[in-house]
Amino acid sequence: MPRRLIAVCVIATAGLATSGAPSGKGLPGNQPLAPPAHFAKLAHTYSIVAWDPENGDLGVAVQSKFPNVGGIVPWAKAGVGAVATQSLANTAYGERGLELMSEGKTAEEALRIVMRTDTSLQDRQVGMVDAGGLAASFTGTATFDWAGGRVGQDGRPGGLVGAKGATIAGRHYAAQANIMVSDQTVRGMAETFERARGSLAERLMAALEAGQAGGGDKRGMQSAALLVVRKNGGYLGANDRFADIRVYDAPDPIAELKRLLALHVLHFFPSEPGDLVPIAPALVKQLEPILMAEPRGQAEKWLKAPQGEATPAFLAALRDFMYWENYDVRVRMDGKIDRVALEDILRKRGLK
């Protein structure tokens, strides 16, 4: 598969000092003497906001030492943009940011417009990417170390580094982190996105894993989420939610998110042309015992008698079986079967 560049915004947020609070410089771990009053309300997070130039997909992946981060951080609208708003999250960056981008503003323009009216600006960490692949990010001066950001630049692996208090803009991705073990979280996520292959959802997942491998949040892990939007990419084309997965609370939310993504790909992603295989007589012979034995516990089975080849009766039985087993988006009636669905069918029944 040819390499595809993806717009990415990696954001890691953390407990932030209130304006005027001591910075904690010189203290062990560079932490303040006491957490700010609003510390418990913060979504301490690292996340990725991304755009895929091949198909226009937009998405956000996020992990946090905070419950249900998927209900706070990620925002995306197909054909418009994606936003991650965290730290002391301000939903205006999601709602107003997407509205401004839908009106034609770039990610950086939308970010700066919302920033103008933010009365707690230095408590924020925000990343935006628009449908043209332009990205921007901001990290407030009150964020806890390690904190900083990166934006993608052509010919510069890992992108351009930005410090606290800076609004940085670039192409294809932006990365920020706050209260991380080190800058390796941001660097690992950015570099992983730059070289990753596969669907946007899979690349987002790879970057999230790389962020944790780089140390991640100092306080550990708790929740994670993945949101990818595509025009008419939802279930049977009825909406734009191509992938919308949340792990509310788990000991290893990234591992659980990865497991759920694999399940989602199986049951909701459409077939790839390269995964379609002809239903030859040998394959019919392998599938017929399943169709003649199932549904289990019911007198009426999918197939009444062996066919020996992919007859209309066999294809109808296979279709009904696949709908029953929730392979809805991979059902076909053209004499072919999706290899991904086929392997799952056989694996679940102990067959090769």
For residue range 185-241, what is the model confidence (pLDDT) as tens digits? 888 888 999 999 999 999 999 998 998 887 776 677 899 999 999 999 998 889 999
Summarize pLDDT for 269-282 with one digit per residue, the tens. 999 999 999 999 99
Taking residues 62-90, report their average pLDDT: 91
Q: Which of 3-7, 64-68, 129-133 has the highest mean pLDDT?
A: 129-133
Q: Is residue 341 scored above 50 in pLDDT?
A: yes
**Which one has a higher pLDDT value, 23 or 253?**
253
**Which one has a higher pLDDT value, 331 or 9?**
331
What order of strands is seen across the sheet that includes strand 124-130?
74-77, 81-87, 124-130, 134-139, 167-171
Please tell me the predicted confidence (pLDDT) of residue 25. 30
State pTM to two decimals.
Answer: 0.82
pLDDT band with cut points at 50, 70 and 90 for residue 262: very high
Please tell me the predicted confidence (pLDDT) of residue 32. 40
Give me 339's structure tokens: 């290899």
Q: Is residue 21 scored above 80 in pLDDT?
A: no
Taking residues 242-259, report their average pLDDT: 96
Largest CA distance in the chain: 79
- Percent share of the chain, pLDDT over 70: 87
Please tell me the predicted confidence (pLDDT) of residue 274. 95
Taking residues 165-174, report their average pLDDT: 88
pLDDT band with cut points at 50, 70 and 90 for residue 42: low
Q: Is residue 260 scored above 90 in pLDDT?
A: yes
Taking residues 63-67, report their average pLDDT: 88
Please tell me the predicted confidence (pLDDT) of residue 7. 38
Taking residues 308-315, report their average pLDDT: 96
12, 177 Cβ separation under 8 angstroms: yes
Please tell me the predicted confidence (pLDDT) of residue 13. 38
Please tell me the predicted confidence (pLDDT) of residue 235. 87
Q: Is residue 31 scored above 50 in pLDDT?
A: no
Mean predicted lDDT score pLDDT of the chain? 85
Taking residues 144-163, report their average pLDDT: 82
Please tell me the predicted confidence (pLDDT) of residue 8. 38
Please tell me the predicted confidence (pLDDT) of residue 26. 30
d(CA 143, CA 122): 7
**HEC per residue, the chain:** CCCCCCEEEEEECCCECCCCCCCCCCCHHHCCCCCCCCHHHCECEEEEEEECCCCCCEEEEEEECCCCHHHCCEEEECCCEEEEEEECCCCHHHHHHHHHHHCCCCHHHHHHHHHCCCCCHHHEEEEEEECCCEEEEEECCCECCCCEEEEEECCEEEEEEECCCCEEEEECEEEEECCECCCHHHHHHHHHHHHCCCCHHHHHHHHHHHHHHCCCECCCCCEEEEEEECCCCCHHHCCCEEEEEEECCCCCHHHHHHHHHHHHHHHHCCCCHHHEEECCHHHHHHHHHHHHHCCCCCCCCCCCCCCCCCCHHHHHHHHHHHHHCCCHHHCCCCCEEEHHHHHHHHHHCCCC
